[in-house]
Homo-oligomer: A and B are copies of this chain.
Amino acid sequence: MRQPGPSHGGRKVAAVADAIADDAPGTGLRTWTAVVAEVTRRIADGEWRLGGIIPSEAELAAEFGCSRNTVNRALRALADQGILERKRRAGTRVRHLPESRASIGIPVVRHLVERRGARYGHHVLEQRAQEPPDAVAASLGLAAGAEALHVTSLHLSDAAPFALEDRWVSLAAVPAAATTDFSAVSVNEWLVRNVPFSTGEIGLSAGAATAEEAARLGCAAGTPVFVEDRVTRLGDSAITVVRTVFAPGYRMRLTI
């Protein structure tokens, strides 16, 4: 019916000021990225009200002169972004408060250090199986009296202390960890490499360095330090619980 337009390659959603070839809509929005751009523009310009319903896929396809499939791809992308909200028979609405998402590449500490142009190093301070404190046992879902692998290590940035890591690994979930030596590869990286998929929770807070932490990190006791607590799960079973205390001055960067 109409020769297929030029593909735009594997670009992701963004890129607003693009692809809207003509001023008049209806003359050529034949790629899904162009549809994304046009829909985005209409919302930004207030042509479509926040919270309001927008035309159906079929109507938009007719207006833009492309297939419903293409419109579907575009609207789905915007829905994934949290900009639109779609329900089956109810239609598509512009979300009131777009739920922004910040994404962190999960901090493999080595990368944090190397990204700053420093040389990474790490020492294992302690590595042995022992009975974890109650709070940790609860997080790992262990029975009372069960042991877990306890590894404490210090991450270095050009020989200066960078972060102090206190980790418990569930031997029930990851038996192989018991027989691994973590002085060459850090526990973090070993886990990331050997336990493919995981979910979990991260808690971030500010705390005062304890005397021991201060000694390890080379600062005064009581200095404000950035603390990250993380629980990692594979399916239902918790794999590891980590508490990382960063040396003073650390700043975590996220991108929305």
Contacts and interface: CB of A to CB of B under 8 A. Distances in A.
Contact of A50 (B103, B196, B224): B196
A124 to B, nearest CB: 21
Interface residues of A, number: 53
A106 interface: yes
A55 interface: no
Interface in A235-256: 235, 248-256
Contacts of A96: 193
Interface stretch (A58-66, A165-173, A198-206): A198-206
Tell me the number of copies of this protein: 2
Contact of A204 (B10, B98, B193, B254): B254
A102 interface: yes
A124 B17 CA distance: 37
Contacts of A104: 101-102, 254
Interface string A201-244: 11111111000000000000000111100001001000000000
A223 to B, nearest CB: 8
